[in-house]
Amino acid sequence: MIDVMTASSPLLVAAVAIDIDGTLFVQMGAFLLVFVILNFVLIKPYLKTLEARQESVQGSSEEAGEMDAQTAVLTASYDEKLSQARREAQDVRESLRNQGLAEQDDILEEVREELGGKLAEERKVIEERVVAARAEIDERARALAEAMVQKVLPQG
């Protein structure tokens, strides 16, 4: 097994081989230049897009909440108007029904009065005919009785 901490170790020798020299500053400059360029080209547009998306989602969520509240208000208003319309329709139906029943009663009363008047008139006419028929029967009966008396008792 190789000891990592010994001076003859290849890992320790390679670790010591890294020196700070002028290339470090060139690499740091290149890193900072790439970082600044990437910051303007990628990071800032990405953050702007992310922020715009969050604002859009939040705005959409708020708008959806407002629409839900408005829908609830409109639904409640619709339900109230519908129940009011049903009550009014029921009242109108009841009113028309009562009006129809009242008209029916009026018509029946008129017909009863008319028929009662006609019935009384017809009874009067029948009574007059009965009286006239009795008078005629009485007259015929007298005439028949006289004829029978004449045949039975000849005058002479």
Domain spans of the chain?
Answer: 30-151
Q: What percent of the chain has pLDDT over 90?
A: 60
Residue 2 binned pLDDT confidence (cut-offs 50, 70, 90): low
Q: Annotate 22-56 with b (16+ C-beta within 10 A) or e (fewer).
A: eeeeeeeeeeeeeeeeeeeeeeeeeeeeeeeeeee
Encode pLDDT of 3-45 as tens digits. Answer: 555 655 555 555 556 677 888 889 999 999 999 999 999 999 9
Whether residue 11 contacts residue 3, with contact meaning beta carbons closer than 8 Å, is answered with no
pTM over 0.75: no
